[in-house]
Amino acid sequence: MPRYLTLSRAARLVGVRRGALQSKIRAGELAAFEGMVSEQDLLRAYPQARLEDNAVLERLEAIKEAAFARRVRERVLPSAEVLMARLAELEHYRAIVQEMQARLRAPGGTTGLLEWLQERLAPTAPAGRPLLAQDSLLRIMSAHVQVKPSGHEFFVDGNDNLLEAALRAGLSLDYGCSAGSCGKCKARVVSGQVHRLRHSDYAFTAAEKAAGLVLMCCHTAATDLVIEAREAHGAADMPLQTIDARVKAVSPMGEDMRLLHLQTPRSNRLRFLAGQSVRLSLGEASASLPVASCPCDERNLHFHVRRRAADAFAERVFAGLKDVDSVRVEGPRGEFVLDEASTRPLVFVAFDTGFAPVKSLIEHAMALDASETLQLVWVAGERGHYLDNLCRAWSDALDNFRYDPIAAAPGAAEEILASAVLERVTHAHPRLEEVDVYVAGPAEYAQTAEFLLLERGLPRAQLRLSSLEA
């Protein structure tokens, strides 16, 4: 009998993106049934897949760690209770549950536990079924969660709670304090089991308890789950917020460019979509700036601040903000956000500091893991590509990422630079109707690029534009 896998799990097993599987399905190279693929068809489509390890996934996770500045988790393994629940869920592993219980209860029982699991699990797969062994181990170490009604999916690794895992995967779930007090991250468990990680002060009504509601910030997935939860589907779903954020650091990124790193309180995090902007205020000085970091790390907000004449806010930042404890953040605003329903290849075009919102979009696209390919074309003048090393790291680490830097000559006309952009984009994607393009930069450059792209056949619905101050 065929054994079917979700696209998310199948992609993880063979080390590719979901977008790559969807592309093969559209091309007729991989059969699908109700959004799932069979183990046999997957192996036929990827006969050279390295099923004994996750080299591609490890490489992707490494670059995500660097790009998103995520904290290193203290433990990789889930708790003993969660491990036992996942083991018991699989029929062919019930025989080793007692041995597992004894090891976990013994002093130092978690030492070498992962190696022991791999050794005990390998012989259980039928001969010639390495995919089954790999999937079985994945089911124990990572729980798969599907969100209704959107159908979005994510994995819960280690000791992450449901909310943390969903945000890291790029989902825009509704939440507030992230501490179990406000109740905004409520979700209904449709199927599967959850495990409580911490106490919450929020009081559920009797009806909510009967309906199976839990707080995502306080629970993890003990087994594979299906949940119902509220999600933001566009910029209109994001509420305006006012938060006083702490200044974490001000770092140079060139002679007249600074990275402003703000950190929000744990109980009052900023909800925003990648590509959106906020207003920052330091007393009487203020500026509207795009967030340059990913929503998947919503407490840490990055901004690229350029020194400009008569810009009081920038002068305060360049002075180091040594006498400032916090910055007021108001927002988010803007429609320059990803079309998450699309699985088309993504092209990002940044002129000068237009790289800030584009960086946020790229990191969000990486977290979603849905697009088959990503291309970045970055045009920079005499100030240079101030995060060139980061872009080259993405290109080196990810097989599906292409980086095309363009150095603009002093005084170069908008038409010349936009034409250079068009040449790079059409070289990688001759059929523009097959891609989504996101352009950000000073208005005159962004609008010229817009005109040329539309003239060459890019559908208007597949173009997003963000015009920034020169």
CA separation for the pair 453, 423 (Å, rounded): 10
Token pair for residue 402?
């292409």
**Final residue before a domain boundary, out of 231, 265, 288:** 231
Strand partners of residue 290: 277
Residues 226 and 244 in one domain: no
Residues 259 and 227 in one domain: no
Residues 112 and 179 in one domain: yes
**Final residue before a domain boundary, out of 269, 299, 333:** 333
Q: Is residue 328 part of a domain?
A: yes
pLDDT given at position 71 = 41
Q: What is the mean pLDDT of the chain?
A: 83
Domain carrying residue 437: 346-468
Residues 260 and 125 in one domain: no
Task: Give the number of domains in the chain.
Answer: 3
Model confidence at 332: pLDDT above 90: yes
Helix (H), strand (E) at residue 259:
strand 257-263
Residues 356 and 416 in one domain: yes
Q: Model confidence over 51-87: pLDDT tens digits? A: 444 444 454 555 555 544 444 333 456 666 676 666 6
pLDDT given at position 186 = 93
Residues 384 and 276 in one domain: no
Residues 227 and 246 in one domain: no
Residues 370 and 317 in one domain: no
Q: Is residue 48 part of a domain?
A: no
Sheet holding 300-306, edge to edge: 285-290, 277-282, 326-333, 241-252, 257-263, 300-306
On the CB side of 455, CA atoms within 13 Å amount to: 9
Q: Is residue 429 part of a domain?
A: yes
**Final residue before a domain boundary, out of 285, 305, 333:** 333
Average pLDDT, integer, range 237-243: 92
pLDDT given at position 61 = 54
Residues 80 and 216 in one domain: yes
Task: Look up the pTM and report it.
Answer: 0.76
Residues 443 and 404 in one domain: yes
Is the four-CA dihedral 236, 239, 241, 246 of positive or negative sign?
negative
Q: Is residue 97 part of a domain?
A: yes
CA separation for the pair 284, 328 (Å, rounded): 11
